[in-house]
Structure 1
Amino acid sequence: MPELMLDDPDGTLVMLRDSVTGFAARFPGAKAMRERRGRGGTMDPLIWSAMAEAGWIGLLLPEECGGAGLGLREQAVLSEALGRALIAEPTGTASVFAATLLGGASPGVERSRLAAGVASGEVVAVPAWTSGAKPVVARSVNGRIVLSGETRFVDAARAATDFLVAAQDADGVMLLSVAANADGVAISERAGVDGSAIATISFSDCAVPADRMLSRANRSEDLLRQAILHTRLALAAELTGVASKALELTIAYASDRVQFGKPIGSFQAIQHRLVDMWIEAEFAAAAVVNAVDALRGDDDDAAELAVLAAKARAGEAAFSICRRAVHLHGAMGYTDECDIGLYLKRTINLNAMLGQPEQLRLEFVERESGYRRGRI
């Protein structure tokens, strides 16, 4: 099946893939997704703790912060494998986004506490930030930072021990850690497509100690750019894994399902569809590999374009493949007992994070035009 083709001189990437395979045997992804709906969308703390024990949650955290100190190659392969296994815990937000923010934060007691807790699984640090929305406002009152406003579309809010909040004040934007049970914090949730819960976090005169400020920048783009890039790459890799596994399941089904005395996979019309799906999955994997390579280079503009292209390509491919996979499974593909529908639901949820494919394509065109003008 299509997969990320990256250099692996020391075998680390193979070990990561194998570790996810073994993990999925203990915690089957489809079963966990169905159970999560019964819990009202909250993540499974047992699964999260096991992922932290495996070293996955702190994979991008520097070693001095208690993490594994690995890079984006490893994260991309891990995310792809998690997508294949349908392990739908919030690694994009509570692992990749949070770890990147903490890795770039100023050294201090609070950063050390959060980073060590994230790596061990004892702390679930969830970013509370909404792109393009009115920012949370911060003001200084008696030596404390008081927050007002709200952030929407927050993942895993009920499981959070701390929120990582980007707040605007007169001097720019600051990153703060806010205890999830702090006075003035309210959480309202609604069900997501894949069974997870999507939350709105409201801050009403929420007073935060000044030592909870982790970093500061002039603009939110400067504060969050690296975290957004890394998370989009991880989401693209996970979407690639979802697409590849959905294709694999569909090929297996088409080989076993018999109509008119023959497996439906022997019919040319079905073969053409499967080949189209295969091509889309291969292009998605290639786009993610290109983004990994670009992020390891020195051209920040080229890296940003490559990541936009990767998430747009992987998101579009995963949705197309999963939609056709449900169709090719026939009537049973629409039932909850059939796992293939869960891959489609997971794709819809991942596509909604940090930009739908059509939105990212428009941003790519706009940025590429400016990039070219700047080089003339």
Structure 2
Amino acid sequence: MLRITRRTKRLICLVTLLLLAPAARPLFVDSGNPYFTLTPEKVGTAAVGTPEERILAALDAIRAGKMADARATVDALLHEHPNYRLAHLLSADLYAMRAMPLDTIGGGADAAFAEKLADLRKEALVRMNYRNMPTPPNLLPANILRFDEQQKFAVLVDAETSRLYLFSNDNGVPKMVKDHYVTVGKLGIGKQYEGDQRTPIGVYFVNNHLSRPALDKTYGALADLYGVGAWPISYPNEWDKSKKKTGHGIWLHGSPAATYSRPPQASNGCVVLTNEEMLDVAQYLDIGRTPVIVTPKVEWLTREQWQTRHEQASQTITQWKTAWESLDNEQYLNFYGNDFVSGEGQNITSWRTQKSAVNASKKWSKIELTELSIFAVTGGEKTQMVATFVQDYRSNNLDNKMRKRQYWHNEAGNWKLSWEGNASN
């Protein structure tokens, strides 16, 4: 007689139950419900263009309810730039919106990351604001009034809109080449002292290039903060020094490897671009010659307005030169404001005394100005005009040639000199 063990009996019972049991159904879906259909997610069309254009296209698609297109665009962007944090946030939002509506970017994220979320929202906002208010192509900046003939390009940073503009010298007229989103200081603009985490306002010049290998050698692991490299600018300039401003190491530079772009206010005072955009701008930078104008807000002019402003600025310098050349003390010294300080530290009183004595010893003088450039800082408390030129001075008892810089400020509609002396770069 065949003996069946206890283990064999249990196995027979289990098989019998499986054969007789009804087919299992999904726990959360009633497939018999005529109103339910299980359909795959639609495949969207990814937007094309620059990373900024595509991140904005994704935001537009979300607002228009075209989630498939938004998903396709964000996925394509992250495939190319896996460290783009704003794109990652949008990707997370798209998943969250399958379960619930969101009132804002990052609405489904953990509140513990409030500060980082606020930074990413600011980045999205400044990018959208710029796109919604683009600079008309026929407008020119009041900040670039005259190029030196040897200056091929100028960099203009609008701190209010977190935007960097690159202009070429088109027969003396600024012509926009391109523009990019940038990051400025954590505490904004108006640098005063070392470590205040603000970006300086003023007219500066690119004065060096620190390649990534050079940065690695000097800073080690900290070099990653500067991305593909750094291009130092001439802060503090002559005006900054006269105002006792301190600090150093203000650079144009790239971004760390861990992030594609940084929030609008995140640097220690530098102007920061994405790595690919920094390399794009770098090809136009001429060491020692390219101006970098950092202004609170760019003033945009029509072509006719710009031409008038250009002529007025050039005439101001010419009139100053003519008055000095003519040995007319009263007319000449009228160009100097009450707050004037010379490169040697003289105030307006001692300057007037010295210049009156010097001019009294002259029988004649002849002054020639060449390589003249004029740039301006606008949007702050006072508009500042910065003129740089080579001055060739000749008289009956002195011949002197120097590179000079002047800082002018507008007082009640009249330009007055606030600083004058040797150009430090």
Shorter-chain TM-score range: under 0.3
TM-score for both structures, normalised by structure 1: 0.27
RCO comparison, higher one (Cα < 8 Å, 6+): 1
Where is the helix percentage greater, Structure 1 or Structure 2? 1
TM-score for both structures, normalised by structure 2: 0.25
Where is the strand percentage greater, Structure 1 or Structure 2? 2
